[in-house]
Structure 1
Amino acid sequence: MEQLFGLLSFGPDGWGDEIAAGAWLTLRLAAATLPFGLVLGFAVALARNSHRTWLSVAGNAFATVFRGLPELLTLFIVYYGGQILVQRIASLVADEYVEVNGFVAGLVALGLVFAAYASEVFLGAFRSIGRGQFEGAAALGLRWPAAMRVVIVPQLVRLALPGLANLWLVLLKETSLVSIIALNDLLRETSVAVGATKEPFFFYLVACLIYLAMSIVSSFGIVGIERWSDRGMKR
């Protein structure tokens, strides 16, 4: 057992620094994907909730496509399809080879999937807010942007938060997919360590515990945000 824990030491004789670097990349990828997915998901929900037919159809099509495709397939399409697109654009400017950054490809692919599911959460929250809230804001003379910011969005956040929190936890786990495109996240570094040491159970157990720790810490943060959003609702 002591020998196994020695494999997690930092330095040339252990894999602790590689595992830590992979965990840090996983956190950075998830944290960078979250705002992108939230903003895009909110925009898609607005489109789906719009009375304009073309916006509603476009929003529903986006949600249907990226909820229907497997996440891994979406990642391949963004990574390899983006590679082809960027290369063709670059060939028009200069005859050079341009490689798509794996981190950016992972961010975009996971963000698209996150946005598709987040749009469902936001749409449900929109429809839970009474029409009277919109009419009351209009009666006070608030224009649409001001009404959204002052009246609708604060209620929307409270209603959507449980669903978005669940999507965040799912996103943390889905970052493991980027190991397929040779991005050195936690799962890829763990797999490299397993190949070098022939200790699959130990290293995959360590990876499980790290993912679990991330989820537990996130859960505490989510509880704090929920209390903040409910601060005016409890007596």
Structure 2
Amino acid sequence: MFGYTFYWSIVWDKLPDLLEGAKATLALTVLSMVIGTLLALGLTLLRRQEKGLGYRLATGWVEVARNTPALFQIYMIYFGLGALGLHFSSYVAMLLALSFNNAGYLAEIFRGGLQIIPKQQLTAARSLGISSFGAYTHVVFPQLFRIVYFPYVNQLNWALLNSSLGMIIGLRELTGATQAAQSESFRTFEFFIVAAVMYFVMSKLIEGGARLTFWRVFKG
């Protein structure tokens, strides 16, 4: 097409590098979601107070995370904090930025889920002598994760795709590995078509695994 000749053998030679990049992408995605989830739960509880310094800080976090580009957040952590003397490796900076972004979106997802759960359940648990922490971990949060399960999976997929921005700060995740391979061979179409297929496959595996898990855990 348009006189372009595809040379897939070049991609085959670099496939181990692309697979290593895909592994780094998945590791970064999962770790940032774990950290983001823990942070989001804390932000959600602070926002339920609806007053005080903790509420204002949590609200500010959510607003910044959800209303500024992820690229801006990465630059601020990698370059901005670096200018202040706080230097992070590409991987750590991307992990921090992605966790920050995930926490903001997940906190809003969790807030919406909590509004569905009757507050009387928390009051009833406390009246039985269960601590506030125990009431949340054993009564509220199990219901919450069932309610927000699929929005949570959507955020997981979003984190997977956002991880590609790590390329701009020199991270060798899948997009970074693809760019490096392309810069050596100048075979743009071949490498980025394969990378796109790999992202598509990872995304669909996440969706399929999530549906299977939901059925086994919540419907079984």
TM-score norm. by structure 2 comes to 0.91
**Over residues 95-120 of structure 1, what are the superposed CA-to-partner deviations in whole Å (9 max), with x where a residue is unaligned?**
xxxx5211010000011011000000
Aligned partner of 2:28 in structure 1 is: 29
Q: Is the 8 A contact 2:47 2:54 kept in 1?
A: yes
Instruction: Read off the aligned partner of 2:58 and give its amino acid letter.
Output: G
Matched residues in 2 for 1:185 and 1:57: separation? Answer: 35
Q: CA deviation at 1:51?
A: 4.5
Comparing 115-124 with 131-140, greater Cα deviation is found at 131-140
**Which residue of the other structure, out of 167, 171, 181, is the alignment partner of 1:193?**
181
Q: Report matched runs for 1:1-235 at 5 Å.
A: 4-9=7-12, 14-86=13-85, 99-231=87-219
**Over residues 111-145 of structure 1, what are the superposed CA-to-partner deviations in whole Å (9 max), with x where a residue is unaligned?**
10110000001101111100221122123221211
Matched residues in 1 for 2:99 and 2:81: separation? Answer: 15
Instruction: Read off the aligned partner of 2:7 and give its amino acid letter.
Output: L
Q: CA deviation at 1:229?
A: 4.2
TM-score norm. by structure 1 comes to 0.86
Matched residues in 1 for 2:54 and 2:114: separation? Answer: 16
Change (3 A) 1:160 1:201: same
Comparing 121-130 with 192-201, greater Cα deviation is found at 192-201
Q: Which has the larger Rg?
A: 1
Change (3 A) 1:66 1:171: same
Q: Is the 8 A contact 1:157 1:229 kept in 2?
A: no
What is the CA RMSD across the aligned residues, in angstroms? 1.9
SS in 1 for 2:171: coil
Instruction: Read off the aligned partner of 1:155 and give its amino acid letter.
Output: Q
SS in 2 for 1:50: coil
Q: Is the 8 A contact 1:194 1:203 kept in 2?
A: yes
Q: Is the 8 A contact 2:11 2:190 kept in 1?
A: no
Change (3 A) 1:125 1:3: closer
Q: Is the 8 A contact 2:8 2:190 kept in 1?
A: no
Matched residues in 2 for 1:166 and 1:19: separation? Answer: 24
Matched residues in 2 for 1:228 and 1:86: separation? Answer: 49
Point out where structure 1 has 5 or more consecutive residues left out of the alignment: 88-98
SS in 2 for 1:230: helix
